[in-house]
Amino acid sequence: MAMRRFDPRQAQRGPQIRINQRIRVPEIRVIGDDGEMLGIMQTHEALRRAQEKGLDLVEVNPKADPPVCKILDFGKYKYDEKKKAREAKRKQSVVEIKEIKLRPKTDDHDLEFKTRAAHRFLGAGHKVKFTVRFRGREITHPEKAQEQLDWIVQHCEEIANVEVRPMMEQRTMTLMMAPKPAILQKVAQARVAAERARQKALQEGRAAPAGDEEDEEIEKLERQLEEQDDDDDDDEAEGATG
C-alpha cells in the first residue's frame, strides 16, 4: 500500500483540529472539562489529566501564545459543532459551490459516480464546479476533457443550466453549472416547510424533526469524492516511482 502523501489541497477543506498526541507544542494553556481555567502546563501533563477522565485534549485556539486547549469529549464536541452549523444553515439561503475534480483518464464508472454526485448537489440547490486537471502530456489532448464535460452537461441538463462554459486556464479545464430556477424554488419551499414543522414541534413541546438526512447525504458524497481524489493522487505517486 502506498503511503498517503501530504496534499496542500487539504488546507482548502477547512482547518484540522489537533487533539491528544497531535498537539506537538511542549506547553499549552488548559481549560478543564468544567470550564475552569487550569493555567499553563506541559502538554504531556494536560494529556495525562484528560486521559484520567476518559476525555480528550483538544486545541481550541492554536494562534494564542501558548495555544489554548480544552479537556472535553471530542466526539460530543464535533456533534455539537455540526449541530450549530446546521442550525445556522437553516436560517440562511446561501448557494454553495461544490467542486468535483476529474482527470482526462477518469474511467466511465468514476465519471458516472461523479455525475450522480453532481446531480445530487444540484438537486439540493448548490452550484457545481467541474475541474479537469491535466498532468504531463495530457495537456496535448484537451478534447478528452471536453467530451467528459459535454457528457456531464447532457446528464444534468434537466435540472441545471451551464453558468460558465468549459474553458482552459493554465493546466485545467473548468465548467460551472447552476440549478435551474424551478429547482431553487423547490429547495426554498422545502426549507420553509421544514422550518415551520420544526417551530410547530417546539411550540407543542415535541422533539423537533431532525431534518439532517439531506445534509448527511451531501457530506457523505463529499467525503467519497475526496477519497477518490486522494486515491488518484496515490496512484500517480506509485506510477511516478514505479
CATH number, residue 124? 3.30.110.10
Residue 2 lies in a domain: no
Task: Determine, yes or no, domain membership for 195.
Answer: no
Q: Confidence class of residue 90 from pLDDT cuts 50, 70 and 90? A: low
Domain count, the chain: 2
Nearest to 126 by CA among 137, 117, 138, 114: 117
Residues 72, 70: Cα–Cα separation, whole Å: 6
Instruction: Determine the distance from the C-alpha atom of residue 163 to the mean position of all C-alpha atoms in its chain, rounded to a whole number.
Output: 23
Confidence of residue 4 (pLDDT cuts 50, 70, 90): very low
Q: Is 58 exposed, middle or buried (0-12, 13-18, 19+ CB in 10 A)?
A: buried
Domain range enclosing 20: 16-74
Same domain, 40 and 158: no
Residue 192 lies in a domain: no
- Predicted TM-score (pTM) of this structure: 0.58
Residue 57 sits in a domain whose CATH number is 3.10.20.80
Please tell me the least confidently modeled range out of 36-50, 132-146, 153-167: 132-146
DSSP character for 66? Answer: S
